[in-house]
Structure 1
Amino acid sequence: MEEKWKEVALGDISTMELAKMPEKGKSNLYTEPDLLVIAKGVEDIGRVSISPKSPITNSLIVINLDEEIADKKYCYYYLKAQNLKNISDNSKKPQITITNLKKVRVKMPPLAEQQRIAAILTTFDNKIKRYNKFSKALEKAVQAIFRHWFIDFEFPDEDDKPYKSSGGEFVNTDWGSLPKGWHVGKYTEITEIISGATSMALNQSDFTLKGKENMDRYLIYMLTNICNKNLLKRSGDIFKIVDIDRLESSNVLIPPKKVIHKFKNTAGPLFDKVTQQNKTNNTLLKLRNKLLLELTSGEMRVVV
């Protein structure tokens, strides 16, 4: 028979204190796995975390739970599912007070069920972290290829040898010394600009780039970052234009088509893996968030 859940005030199952800055010369990291809430700050206020090794600042509230009745990981996930920003005061510099945090209501299943819920959500989080780590490793590999080809100019020559170190020919330009056959042009040579009004993947006010012929999206993004890092921003698999007027009037380094084609064949499969990995991660994240709400509300029960 399922045991009933209780609803209690957070202050009834814990004690709280403001974090204190360490003395000079001592470590500024928490070494104990404390439950922490950011009490001040424009963007991070209300964010919940578990140390260890979280930086100690005076904008943190440390929650010391009665672990005979409250599982730390469960309470971490429960509080993450709440919008703790809403309990901040209405001052010009909003902050969460201990008084207000103690009043937060927490739904408490039996301890064994709390631990099971926490274990399920932790499994999802660990898998998401692994996938993120793998995606970042793949991206670093693509970036390394890009730097080798388009910054160091060691792209494969006709004999598949590194161009620059194999004595490849360079010409002087306003942009400095460039490999023969490369030139500086406008973005309209290599891209089409797509409006959000014609794409379901974008907001109405957004614009993004589509490469012409074999011009890879990632190559466009990387070339833009060489020329002007403030023209594009990345959102998942979409590269959005920050300033369309500046982009249209800006110059970009344009390699020959055969180099672009080789880059696409070499780095494209890696970038496709990154894209697929990100999609898988987004699916996992949505499922985790759904479970987070259902499990911590009691809408879904787990067998212990």
Structure 2
Amino acid sequence: MSSDLNTKLATSNSIQEEWNLEKIDNVCELVREPFTPSDDDIRKYVGLEHIEQGTLKLCGIGSSSCVKSNKLQFRSGQILFGKLRPYFRKVIRPDFDGVCSTDILVIDSKKGYDNGYLFYFFANNEMIEEATRSSEGTRMPRASWKYLSQLKKPFPSLPEQRAIAEILSSLDDKIKLNRRMNATLEHIAQAIFKRWFIDFEFPDENGQPYKSSGGEMVESELGEIPRGWEVKAIGDICKTSGGGTPKTKEPSYWEDGDIFWATPTDMTSLKSPIIFDTSRKITEEGLNKSSAKLLPIGSVLMTSRATLGYFAITKVPICTNQGFISMVCDGEVSNYYLLHTLKNKVDLIENLASGSTYLEINKSSFRSISIIKPPSSLIEKFDNFVKLIYDKIYLYELESQNLSLIRDELLPKLMSGKIRISGEL
């Protein structure tokens, strides 16, 4: 935690006397402005599928042109709280006007209360647990606003609300900045790959772009490629393997496990093509008693079923479940080159997949995919560029993870008054 942040926080043993115990109904209101989809009125749309689980972030934005049933309107700065299965902690505060699913509560502050503070109030695990307790329905449990609105909770003064919100939002703002930086860095890495290995404008011996400077091209099964380059099957340039799942009913395979075990859900929740943590871990016994295989750092993972075609490079030794094809590069090409090559072959991978319940590509079909193999010297030059980029992406991801942990550790303490804001922000 930064020294500046520390100077603004002071520990308290109890909720301060000046905090008022208020019914939530007196603090904020439920906004119920209906919206009927129309081709003449297109709005930004937020469904539960657009809100990340537990991160307090959006993972996308839809359009009202794609929805049929009535929705709810919201204004910039209001709080959106996912009431369906509230334990997923889908809470956001958009900075734009739009419409949302009716499975989302739209909440707005009343006079004397701050929406920035209320956003973190509702995102605090105490309120998530209250919402879960209030849920009605077994198959599709939904939080009850009638129950939540009658709860009595302590609230600080408006200036302290704003100060608390500013502390927490400063952490979230840095996480957002890191995401934008990583998106830019990924774009740069992809642009270099495209220019060198798709447009064939890599620097020639004179430092000039190869193809447009008259570099010799020859025919191949994948079209024209520079002279001296090869076409090889993926199975001939790297080792491929699948994964496995230890018996879930055997506690010794899971309890206190410290071996990272990835599922497709871990991949779809990544913010960059780097994986260094997983939601579940297994024990060494679980690894040995299953078909899961421990992969070295630098392996390339690809989801091979259902959510097909998500890729990542491992930053820790890791194993996976059956929903993956994993690749270990052994000198023919680098992991960075293979990662970008596969990203540019997603359409082909999907076309080779089959299945009635969900699409899946088998290892045999995947291994047979032909890719271009440039000279090792050029791949090495490419690696020298992109390794610096991916190292920076990794550092930003680590920082964002730590900032999220700090925010979630501070959140309940600030909301309960156990930590108070001291001094001017």
Equivalence for 2:403:
284
Label 1:144 to 1:204 Cα distance change in 2 as closer, same or farther (>3 A): closer
Whether the aligned pair in 1 keeps the contact of 2:238 and 2:332 (CA below 8 Å) is no
Q: What's the offset of the Cα at 1:6?
A: 4.7
* Separation (CA, whole Å) in 2 of partners of 1:294 and 1:38: 23
* CA-to-aligned-CA distance 1:127-154 (integer Å, 9 cap, x gap): 1212221221111111111111111111
* CA-to-aligned-CA distance 1:166-187 (integer Å, 9 cap, x gap): 1222222222222222222233
Equivalence for 2:105:
61
Equivalence for 1:3:
16
Equivalence for 2:392:
273
Equivalence for 2:69:
none
Equivalence for 1:237:
none
Q: What's the offset of the Cα at 1:97?
A: 4.2
SS at match of 2:413: helix
* Separation (CA, whole Å) in 2 of partners of 1:218 and 1:151: 15
RMSD: 3.4
Equivalence for 1:28:
43
- Show structure 2 runs of 5+ residues with no match: 1-11, 45-73, 244-260, 262-292, 296-315, 351-359
* TM-score when normalising by structure 1: 0.80
Pairing 1:202–2:285 present: no
Whether the aligned pair in 2 keeps the contact of 1:10 and 1:104 (CA below 8 Å) is yes
Whether the aligned pair in 1 keeps the contact of 2:136 and 2:143 (CA below 8 Å) is yes
* Separation (CA, whole Å) in 2 of partners of 1:190 and 1:106: 61
Equivalence for 1:228:
346
For residue 79 of structure 1, the aligned residue among 122, 126, 129 is 122
* Separation (CA, whole Å) in 1 of partners of 2:334 and 2:24: 52
Q: What's the offset of the Cα at 1:107?
A: 4.1
For residue 37 of structure 1, the aligned residue among 74, 81, 84 is 81
* Separation (CA, whole Å) in 2 of partners of 1:214 and 1:8: 66
Whether the aligned pair in 1 keeps the contact of 2:168 and 2:407 (CA below 8 Å) is yes
SS at match of 2:137: coil
Q: What's the offset of the Cα at 1:155?
A: 1.3
Whether the aligned pair in 2 keeps the contact of 1:214 and 1:260 (CA below 8 Å) is no
Identity of aligned residues (%): 25
For residue 120 of structure 1, the aligned residue among 164, 167, 170 is 167
Matches within 5 A, 1:158-173: 158-173=205-220
* TM-score when normalising by structure 2: 0.59
Equivalent residue letter for 1:224: L
Equivalence for 1:157:
204
Equivalence for 2:373:
254
* Separation (CA, whole Å) in 2 of partners of 1:255 and 1:134: 30
Task: Answer with 183-192 or 22-31: which moved more.
Answer: 22-31
Task: Answer with 98-107 or 257-266: which moved more.
Answer: 98-107
SS at match of 1:184: strand
Label 1:251 to 1:106 Cα distance change in 2 as closer, same or farther (>3 A): farther
For residue 19 of structure 1, the aligned residue among 17, 33, 37 is 33
Whether the aligned pair in 2 keeps the contact of 1:8 and 1:107 (CA below 8 Å) is yes
* Separation (CA, whole Å) in 2 of partners of 1:180 and 1:63: 63
SS at match of 1:37: strand
* Separation (CA, whole Å) in 2 of partners of 1:110 and 1:203: 50
